[in-house]
Amino acid sequence: MFPVARAALNLTARGIQHTAVRQAHRKYEPNFHDKYGNLVLLGGAAVFTVVWGYVFTQAGIEWGLSPVGRVTPKEWRE
């Protein structure tokens, strides 16, 4: 391996090791997802349930999925 490339790899590896050691000693601080993740998930589930509950019960949509008896043949036009 060329001396310049070997030195560059050594510096890169040393930088990564230094960063890892620095982060390992740092105090852990919770981020947004740690603080509010479960609350956001439960809120989304509640909104989902309310909206679909309304659609299924109050929207007046007829949920007859079978076309039997609803589709009538029409005369063929030439």
Sign of CA dihedral 12, 14, 17, 22: negative
pLDDT at 76: 81
Per-residue pLDDT tens digits of the chain, which is 78 residues long: 567 666 655 656 666 666 666 666 677 788 888 899 999 999 999 999 999 998 888 877 676 677 777 777 788 877
The Cα 76–Cα 72 span in angstroms is 12
pLDDT at 58: 84
Is the whole model's pTM more than 0.75, yes or no?
A: no
CATH number of the domain at 1-57, please?
4.10.51
pLDDT at 57: 85
